[in-house]
Each structure stands twice: as C-alpha cells, then as structure tokens.
Chain A
Amino acid sequence: MYDFELVKPSSVADAAAALGDEDAQALSGGQTLIPTMKQRLAMPSKLVSLAGIEEMQGVAVSAVGGIRIGAATTHATVAKEVAGSYPALAALADGIGDPAVRNRGTIGGSLANNDPSACYPCGTLASGATINTNKRAIAADDFFVGLFETALEEGEIITSVDFPTPSAANYQKFDQPASRFALVGVMVAKFDDGVRVAVTGASESGVFRWSEAEAALNGNFSADAVAGLSVSADGLISDMHGSADYRAHLVGVLTMRAVAAC
C-alpha cells in the first residue's frame, strides 16, 4: 500500500467536495478497494470515507411499498432489515461473501464497483431499482455499462438505492468454487407490470437482462415457460471455472429454479 490521506466527512456535500481533488477516491466498506491498494494496484492519494455519513446509512421502507437503502449500508444490515419487506433481496445480501465481508461491504460499493460476478448488480437490475447519486437519479437499466463500468461520473457518489418491491422474487446463486462469487447468478422478480430477469457472472460485459425469458414469463409465470429457452454462449465468460457453454446452460437452470422458488 502507498501512503494516502484519509478524510471522514459527515455529509454528502463535504464528501463530494473532498472527492473533487485529483486522485481522491471514495472508500465505503473497503472490501474491494483495500485489497487492491494492498497489492499496489490502486494508488489513490486521498480516501474519502463514506462510513460516517448519516444520510447514507440504513433502510427505510416506504408506506407505498418501496424500499430505500442508504448506499453505505452494509450487506449484513440489509439482510436483516429487508428480510420482511423484500426477502429475496435479504437472501441475496446474506449470501455475499462471509460474515466479515457482510459486516463491512456496502451496497453502494458493490454497485459502483460493478464486478461482473457480483450479486447486487443482479438484484438491482432485476428489481428495476433506481440509483440515486449526489447529482441525479439513474435507472438500473442505464447504470451498468460494462465490466467494472457504470454510468457514474468522476467523483459522483451513490447516496441511496430505491427498490420497488416485487410480488414475488428469487435469487439463485451458483458459487464459483474458489471465490464463491457468482459463477452465474439469476434473479427473477415479478411485478404487476411485468417480470424482470437479470443475470450476473455470465457475460463478458457484466450483468444483463434476459429479455427472452422475461417475455416467456410474462405470458406464463412457470418454470416450464423457460424450460426450452437458452441464452447464446457468444460473449459469455469462459475461464477455468466454467466454459461459456456451461455458463449458458447454468443461466437456464438457475432461471427455472428461481421461478420455481418464487
């Protein structure tokens, strides 16, 4: 790790100002950023900790059925707080990493990082959530741009995420044996205005919606409806843990399982 300066602002405005410096970077749970810095692969001159910002913490369930999660809320807190209001999202948060990771890592950090094998991008996209920043509100459909790439601008801070609550949802994660990130993960969420299916871990360009499955499920919400469908292996990740064909196959299997579990 190289030397850096650490600031701990208590408001989003102060954090945004601090992030104006060149080479300044936001620090949330540090579960991704700190290991990268230890390996000297990242070298921010200044870390702006978001952990002390009250307005970015916690879960609020609105009366009209939506949930707002502060961006600096840990996976463990989400798992506990939305267990009643959005059990599928709670289960997703509860399946991330190990207790140490869940007690540190945050939803904002996970979304900003947009790891192609991460769980939250999948949950957020399947939910049709809205990502609120210090500058604007971004629809999940517009947020995830590519591998480790998002719509966030330099220094832009995710402050919270708004989740509409589906009538039924399920996240199926198939572990990569070593990291236990998602080798493939599929989230199916059923709303009054339609079904959304998001897939993580599979594509070389990150999380995506499987529109064919969505269409089939809109007509008939049952595992059988997706039984005959398959995603193309083109553009899917192929590595020592699974070929593109295998991942394509898992997308189908996990989608059926998610629907069956809804």
Chain B
Amino acid sequence: MPKDSGIGASSKRREDVRFLTGKGKYTDDMNVEGQAHCYILRSDVAHGTLDSVDTSAAADMPGVRGILTGEDFVEVGGLPCGWQVTDRFGEPMQEPKHPVIAHGKVRHVGDPIAVVVADTLAEARDAAEAIDVSITELSAVVDMAAALADGATKVHDDLTNNLCYDWGFVEENKDAVDEAIKGAHHVTTLELVNNRLVANPMEPRVAIGDYDASTNDHTLYTTSQNPHVIRLLMGAFVLGIPEHKLRVVAPDVGGGFGSKIYHYAEEAIVTVASKQFGCPVKWTSSRSEAFMSDAQGRDHVTKIELAMDENGKFLALRTDTMANMGAYLSTFSTCVPTWLHGTLMAGNYTTPLIYCNVKAVFTNTVPVDAYRGAGRPEATFQLERVIDMAAREMGIDPIELRMRNFVQPDQFPYQTPVAVVYDTGNYQGTMAKLLEVVDRDGFAARKAASAANGKLRGFGVASYIEACGIAPSSLVGALGARAGLYESATVRVNATGSISVMTGSHSHGQGHETTFAQVVSDMLGIEENAVEIVHGDTAKIPFGMGTYGSRSLAVGGSAMVKATEKIIKKATKIAAHLMEAAEVDVEFKDGQFSVAGTDKSVAWGEVCLAAYVPHNYPLEEIEPGLEESAFYDPANFTYPAGAYACEVEVDPDTGKVEICSFAAADDFGNVINPMIVEGQVHGGLAQGLGQALLENTVYDENGQLLTGSFMDYAMPRADDLPSFEVDHSSLTPCTHNPLGVKGCGEAGAIGSPPALVNAVIDALADKGVVHIDMPLSPSRVWAAMNQAG
C-alpha cells in the first residue's frame, strides 16, 4: 500500500499552490521603496582593448543617479574561483583576475563595460546609449585547439598562454594505461564533442542591492541556489563586507540547473551601486542578456580509447579532453572537467586502468560552469558511446557487453581506479528492471513496421553512475576546493508543537518544502502540515552551502535528521520527567511518549509545551526550549546509478529523429516522495534529450554568439518528447547517510544523451554511420547519412 503521508508518500507539493496561482514571490516581484534601476552596457565584441569609456554625456541625461565603470572596481577583489586545480606537474592552475566590470580589455560578448543607475530602466538604457566606448578589436580566440596552438592570441595578457591547466588523472596510471592499450586485443577509439549549452531557467537572473546608511547594513536579494555562499564570496572576497553586515535573500527561484550557483558580477554591482548612489538598485536580466552573461555548460572535445580482451572485458581506458572555460573562471568551473568528470570514468564497470587528460582552455566566450550533471554527463556520454561502438566493432550485443563488465553486486564497497569508492549499487538490477519495462523482444517487429513506413528504427541503451551528495569536506579540500561542503539545519519546535525547520539547502523547483516536511513529520509522528521549511535567507537560516550536485536530501536532509534526532532525545528526557519514569524506559512512537509496560503516556504537544512553560521541568538537568541544530558532513559521495533505454525512428528523407519511447530505471536509494522523484527524472530527461536532439550554443569565428535567442537556440518542448517510463524500484540504500538516499536531480540529464544517440546510431548502422555529434538535428543526421553512404 502506498503511504499517504510521511516518508514514501507522494504528498502533493505544497509550494505549488503559490506557484500555480501566480503567488510565488520571485526576486523580480520585489520592489524596494525608492529603488532605482540599472542597465548594464555590455561588450558587443568578443575581444578588444578597452581604450576609453566616456560617461560624461550620459551622466547628464534625465533620471541618471550615477554610472559605474571598471575604474570603480579596481580597488576591490575580482570575482573568485572556488576551486584550485593542480596540474599534472604539481603546479597550480593559471588563474586570471575576473574584474567585476571589464577593465583594460573586454573578453567576451556580454562582458560588462559600464552600469547606469537611473530612476527608470528606460532612462538608464537611454543614458547607456550616450556612453562613448572606444574598443580596439583584437582577433577572438574561439576554437579550443587554435587557442592552445603556439603563438595564439592570449585571452589574458598576463598569463603564459590560454591553458588554464593540463590535468592528468590518475597520473601514476599513465604508463600502465598506455601499455595496456598497446597490447590489447581490440581498441575502440571515438572522437566526440559534448555540445555547449545555455541553462535557460525560466526565471532570468535578478539582483537588488539595498544599503541602509543608518545601520551600515547591506541586503542583497538575488536569484541564487545558495545565499550563504554568495554572502561569503561577495562579502569576504570581493567587497570586504563582514557577514553580520550583509544579508543575502534568495526567495522563490524559478529554476537554476547550476547556473544560479555562482557569484555573478551583477550581485556586486547592485550592492556597490546602492551604497554609492544612496538608493536601492535593481537589475533584471533580459533573456538576451541571460544568453551572454549566465554561465554556460558542457563544451568538451574528447578523444576516448577503450581497450578490451577478446571477450570484450575492459582492460584500460584513456581519454583526452579539451574543456572550455570561456573567458574567465566562473565560481566552480575548474572542478567540473576534473574532479566531477575524471572520477566518474569508471562508470558502472570494472575497468582496472584509467587515465584522463584534461586541458582547460580560455577562449573569448561566455564563462562555462556546472550545468545539471556537471562533468558527469560528459563522462557518461563518452563512456557509453564508446562502449556502444565497441560492442558493434566486437560483434557483441551492447547490453551483454555492459553486463560482462559491470561491477558485481558482491563487489561493494568498490574501489575504482579513479579515487572514488562506490558504497553500494546493483547495476544488473537496474538493467534487468529496464528490460522489464521495455519490450526489447518486440523491437524487431517494430523495426520492420517502421521500415514498411519508410522509417529507420533504432534502439539504444546507456548505463550511468554519478557522484552526488556533494561532498566530504576533507576529501574535496585535499582536491583543491576552497570551501567545505557540509550542510546545516536548525529544527525549532514551537511551544504548541508545530515545527520550523531552517535549512541551508535551497529549493528552486525541487519541492523541498514538501519533502523535508515529510521526513521531519515522519520522524516525529506528527502531521506534515505541522512542519514548515524555511530556506533562502541568511538572516533566518544557519550557515549552509545550498543546493546543487543532487545534495539537498543526502546532505541537507541528513543534517535535518541529525537535528531532529537531537530534538527527540531531549523531548524524551522531558517526557521521562513528566511521566516520572527512567529515560531508558520511554518509547516514542506516532507522536506519543509512553513507558513500556504501563499505561503512562504523554503526547508530543504536552512535551513541547512543557519545554516552553517549564513549570514542571528538570531544569537542573536540561535547558528549557526545544530547538536543535546540526551540521552534517558526508562520509562519502552517494552513487545513484541506472540504465536507460531509448527507441527512435529516423526519417531518412529529412534526417528528422522522433523519440518513440524512453524508459529510465534508476537506483536512487530510498525514495521520500516518489511523485517528486519522478518529476525530477522527467525534467532531467527533458534537458538531456534537449542536449542530444536540439540544444547547441554556437559562436562564429569572431566570438559572436549566433544562438543568442530562442529563435536559434532550440529548447526542448513537450511535443519533442514521448511519455516517459520511469522506475526507481530497483534500489540499494546508501550505506552512509541516515536516510539511505542518493539524490535524483541530475540523473535524467546524465543518462539520457548517450541512450538517445546510441539509438539513432543503431537506426543508421546499416547506412554506415558510426557517430554523430550532438545535437542530432535533422540537418546533421541527414548529412551523416549522406556522407557515410
């Protein structure tokens, strides 16, 4: 029987009432008394020296309160990068300064040049047109290989070249991998591109700075996935504002997908402008600005080689990747192609020897950072593509080849050759579940039916593993993270027994207000509605690291469980006192404390009241009140895994791909709210299939963004997608967090691109097509069919 509340119940998302009735309170819905608006004049060339920015005429325009340029920020810190990668030779990465407003040079289309603050946005925009900017255009660095060539134009003049780092992992394995590949029975080699994406959350970014001169308090309202991280980065590293004088509020946020993790220039700009011009200052990104100022995702070019013995047993894997950083290092950009990518190259398999080389490259393009999946989709895509190609070359069924190489259920905990240890999993289990869901035996008949209609049908699978529940602080610290990655929670029991949970996690579509309440109410045996989740305001919540990397429930939820356990412990003491029993004899079940073997009992509400009205209370032993906090630092990553299948039909006359069916069998560990998990998978699949079929970010050779709007950047729409089959019943609970949960936010976007591409290549195999780079747009598929033939 499905439960109707608590852990395991598909409770309706309580936040949807306000979202679906237009009552959500997003940053752009906020207007602070007396606020002015700012318009950001951005570079329309990709690379050039900024010779002069003359604002004198603009300053006299109607309504203008003030203008900021790069000059105003030379004294403050640049936007920081949160992860220092050490290269193959033990040297730190090259780390250029990232000025808040461009100074000396512009380095990508969209780089801010000047900021006009005026009474209205129209006035700010009018004045921006009166700013006289003189730029001497330089040749733009766009292609990564060209950027790395000797004598290439440098994006940053003060660096040696355009190479951020040359990373090798595991460096000690390099020679052994080379040897194994040399001597192998068969080596499959594939060169591929992981296409650059624009995150495009429905809500564009917004920032409002509000400075109170009477108290010297700064408030920043911003569209962020992690308000405390922004407070720390901007306060400590950029503007020098101590934490107690800076409040960061991230209210309802309309999707982030990673793009709202980072500290952006506009946050510092409105904060400075508010103080300097004596009024609250609001900036709202237009969609066009979002295309050229939100951090973009992916953009890897990879060569992967898989060595096998005559039975298809994987012997060694070698990869060579160029990863685009864009013009500057966004907050977590450097860890994505390294520690979130190289560590996943074992996939679900027992490949004993692995070596990844990653060269991170500066180009005159928008900065690139984590986007739903972050590094793990790039790892999974190349691995699952090369395995499919290997299966074809070796004449082994692609599922069979995977099965032969899966880590076996009895091998957990499994030490991979790429540092991480998988605590648990069952890859055969999810594959078997997948095959239950899809009718693979019926495929031949469906293919014949398609052929009769002039269509080519294909079937593809992919397995994936990801590292979620980011992350053990000591481990990531050793790897170069400049932050810890624990999470926090405060559980405040109110006097009448209702509960406010203050969490460091941030919900921007994930439904935490529902799921987290299910967990706490279940633990306390009280109504879900008696639990309120508070998030998104540094003035209300304990210091926490926010939401990304499918970490909220695994890490934030664990902190909440720990705090709730402390509450139960203290409440049990109070109950024991009220019942005049020994603490060890007190049981707590369904919101009722009782003494075993007696009829003595006391309800949750009575205990809470006693804590706040301590007339009859063990004051000599414990303090009044019932409020506990916990910080939880995970012992390991969690490793969600699964198997996906996709069936497509290709129209050979036009190259158009239609997805006929898509099935996902995931192991997320324990599931708190199946409906929400299913929704997360649907969203992830839509984004992954969007990457595989439609989305692409294209710059021309001058660094102009050709896909700067939805007229050319193809987002997936409902009618591009089939009705998904989603299953998460084959599960192995995480062994090291109290809820046994693994995280489900990114899986769909990780596992689906290779499944789709494998299906299309299967459809086109008879035409001699072995690979097509994403997105598999009609024109690319048609070109591939006609070139191969």
Contact = CB atoms under 8 A, between A and B. Distances in A.
A39 B288 contact: yes
A243 interface: yes
B707 interface: yes
Interface in B672-716: 694, 696, 698, 706-707, 710-715
A133 to B, nearest CB: 29
B712 A179 contact: yes
A179 B696 CA distance: 14
B654 interface: yes
B783 A240 contact: no
Contacts of B351: none
Interface in B15-60: none
Contact of B696 (A174, A240, A253): A240
Contacts of B656: 174
Interface in B623-658: 653-656
Given A177-B778, A250-B654, A240 B714 contact: no
B783 A241 contact: no
A174 B782 CA distance: 14
B783 A243 contact: yes
Contacts of B710: 178-179
A242 interface: yes
A178 B288 contact: no
B653 A178 contact: no
Contacts of B778: 174, 177, 183, 242, 246
A86 B706 CA distance: 38
Nearest to A3: B122
Contacts of B714: 177-178
Contact of A240 (B288, B694, B706, B715): B706
B134 interface: no
Given A177-B777, A177-B778, A249-B782, A240 B712 contact: yes
A231 to B, nearest CB: 16
Contacts of B713: 178
A178 B779 contact: no
A240 B783 CA distance: 13
B623 to A, nearest CB: 60
Interface string A136-153: 000000000000000000
Contacts of B777: 177, 241
Contacts of A1: 122
A177 B712 CA distance: 8
Contact of A253 (B653, B711, B715): B653
Interface in A202-251: 240-243, 246, 249-250
Nearest to B775: A177
Nearest to B288: A39
Q: Which of A1, A242, A253 has the most CB of B within 10 A?
A: A242
Which size bracket describes the interface of A in this complex? 10 to 19
B654 A253 contact: yes
Interface string A33-53: 000000110000000000000
A240 B698 contact: yes
Contacts of B698: 240
A174 B712 contact: no
Contacts of B707: 178, 240
Q: Dominant SS at the B interface?
A: loop
B12 to A, nearest CB: 28
B654 A178 contact: no
Interface in B760-785: 777-779, 782-783
A242 B779 contact: yes
Contacts of A40: 125
Interface string A152-187: 000000000000000000000010011100010000
B779 A246 contact: yes
B243 to A, nearest CB: 40
Contacts of B654: 174, 250, 253
A40 to B, nearest CB: 8
A1 B120 CA distance: 13
B37 to A, nearest CB: 15
A179 B782 contact: no
B711 A243 contact: no
A61 B655 CA distance: 40
Nearest to B653: A253
A249 B652 CA distance: 12
Given A243-B783, A246-B782, A177 B694 contact: yes
B640 to A, nearest CB: 31
B44 to A, nearest CB: 13
Contact of A241 (B653, B715, B779): B779
A139 B625 CA distance: 86
Interface in A76-116: none
Given A177-B694, A178-B712, A243 B779 contact: yes
Contacts of A241: 712, 777, 779
B653 A179 contact: no
A178 B782 contact: no
Nearest to A117: B711
Contact of B711 (A178, A242, A249, A250): A178
A237 B711 CA distance: 16
A178 B696 CA distance: 10
A1 B125 CA distance: 9
Interface string A1-39: 100000000000000000000000000000000000001
A229 to B, nearest CB: 15
Contacts of A183: 778
B182 to A, nearest CB: 40
A105 to B, nearest CB: 15
B202 to A, nearest CB: 16
Nearest to B693: A177
Contacts of A253: 653-654
A148 B696 CA distance: 27
B131 to A, nearest CB: 15
Contacts of A240: 696, 698, 706-707, 712
Q: Which of B122, B288, B706, B777 has the most CB of A within 10 A?
A: B777
A1 B288 CA distance: 14
A249 B698 CA distance: 24
Contacts of B288: 39
Contact of B783 (A39, A178, A246): A246
B653 to A, nearest CB: 5
Contacts of B696: 240
B155 to A, nearest CB: 24
Nearest to B122: A1
Given A240-B698, A241-B777, A253-B654, A179 B783 contact: no
Contacts of A178: 694, 707, 710-715
B406 to A, nearest CB: 36
Contacts of A177: 694, 714, 777-778
Nearest to A242: B779
B711 A179 contact: yes
Nearest to A1: B122
Contacts of B125: 40
B192 to A, nearest CB: 19
A63 to B, nearest CB: 40
A174 B288 CA distance: 26
Contacts of B783: 243, 246
A177 B778 CA distance: 9
Interface of A: 1, 39-40, 174, 177-179, 183, 240-243, 246, 249-250, 253
Interface of B: 122, 125, 288, 653-656, 694, 696, 698, 706-707, 710-715, 777-779, 782-783
11 contacts: A1-B122, A174-B778, A178-B694, A178-B707, A178-B710, A178-B711, A183-B778, A240-B706, A242-B779, A246-B778, A246-B783
Closest 6 CB pairs of A and B: A178-B714, A242-B779, A177-B714, A179-B711, A253-B653, A246-B779
Given A39-B288, A177-B778, A249-B782, 20 more contacts: A1-B122, A40-B125, A174-B654, A174-B656, A177-B714, A178-B710, A178-B711, A178-B712, A178-B713, A178-B714, A179-B712, A240-B698, A240-B712, A241-B712, A241-B779, A242-B778, A243-B779, A246-B778, A250-B654, A253-B654
